[in-house]
């Protein structure tokens, strides 16, 4: 964990950071929460891009990114440390846990696209345990039954008053991506939901 974080920090360190004048602090650093049936853990640092592309460029981009960009609603594709989440007909959120420079990777595909680095705009909470779906449903209207929202499913949706991107990593494990300025609110509401899920 520390290795990945150090790696990402080094790759994205600004000049001020390198000079020791400022240190980047993860928005949910040190947070912990959960209940008897839910575990809440701030996700490790990762690089992310908001990717937009037309249908005819998806093939080349997929080749460049090393995974097949999903084109079906609510689906994702994972290859190694990298995952692409379908957000809309021409929009994906690509997350790389190894901290790779995704903008450069996308550019190397040669296909026409728009990639915006949102590594530090977003942060994430990993929600796991038998009460994970119930905790998320305390503020999210999506049907999280396995038949409707299977493992690998993902969706941009709403959690309380905050917009999130929800991804089911395993039967009882979700990644909740949110904007960093909403992260305290999201973590707090998830903590409340976790308590309720254990009742």
Partner 1 sequence: MLLIYCPYCEEERSELEFRGAGDAHIVRPTNIADITDEEFEAFFFLRDNPKGLIFERWRHIHGCGRFFNAARDTVSDRFYKTYKAGEPKPELSAILPADSDKGASK
The answer to whether 73 contacts partner 1 (rule: CB under 8 A) is: yes
Q: Which of 159, 187 has the CB closer to partner 1? A: 159
Count of residues interacting with partner 1 (CB under 8 A): 13
Q: Which helix (H) or strand (E) holds 83?
A: strand 82-88
The only residue of 87, 100, 135, 189 in contact with partner 1, by rule CB under 8 A = 87
Helices (H), the chain: 2-12, 15-18, 58-65, 102-107, 132-137, 183-197
Q: How far apart are CA 75 and CA 132, in angstroms?
A: 20
Q: Which of 91, 196 has the CB closer to partner 1? A: 91
Interface stretch with partner 1, choices 61-69, 81-89, 128-136, 186-194 (CB under 8 A): 81-89
The answer to whether 158 contacts partner 1 (rule: CB under 8 A) is: yes
Query: The tokens 């960009």 sit on which residue?
Result: 69
Q: How far is the CB of 58 from partner 1 (least distance, A)?
A: 16
106 to each of 76, 93, 94, 135, 171, how far by Cα in Å?
Answer: 17, 12, 10, 35, 31
The only residue of 5, 78, 138, 157 in contact with partner 1, by rule CB under 8 A = 157
The answer to whether 122 contacts partner 1 (rule: CB under 8 A) is: no
Q: Which of 117, 163 has the CB closer to partner 1? A: 163
Helices (H), 32-143: 58-65, 102-107, 132-137
> Residue 162 gets which letter from DSSP?
E
Structure tokens at 185: 């609110």
Interface stretch with partner 1, choices 31-39, 75-83, 154-162, 184-192 (CB under 8 A): 154-162
The answer to whether 163 contacts partner 1 (rule: CB under 8 A) is: yes
């Amino acid at each position: 964990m520390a290795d990945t974080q150090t790696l990402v920090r080094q790759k994205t360190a600004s000049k001020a950071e390198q000079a020791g004048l400022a240190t980047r602090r993860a928005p949910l650093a040190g947070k912990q929460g959960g209940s008897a049936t839910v575990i809440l853990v701030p996700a490790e640092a990762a690089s992310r891009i908001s990717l937009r592309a037309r249908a005819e460029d998806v093939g080349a981009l997929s080749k460049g990114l090393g995974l097949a960009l999903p084109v079906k609603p609510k689906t994702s594709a994972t290859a190694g440390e990298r995952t692409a989440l379908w957000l809309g007909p021409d929009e994906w959120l690509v997350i790389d846990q190894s901290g790779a420079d995704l903008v450069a990777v996308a550019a190397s595909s040669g296909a026409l696209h728009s990639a915006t680095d949102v590594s530090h705009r977003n942060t994430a909470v990993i929600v796991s345990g038998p009460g994970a779906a119930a905790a998320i449903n305390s503020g999210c209207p999506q049907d999280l039954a396995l038949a409707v929202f299977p493992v690998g499913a993902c969706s941009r949706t709403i959690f309380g008053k905050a917009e999130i991107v929800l991804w089911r990593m395993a039967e009882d494990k979700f990644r909740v991506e949110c904007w960093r300025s909403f992260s305290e609110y999201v973590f707090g509401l998830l903590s409340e939901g976790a308590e309720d899920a254990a009742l």
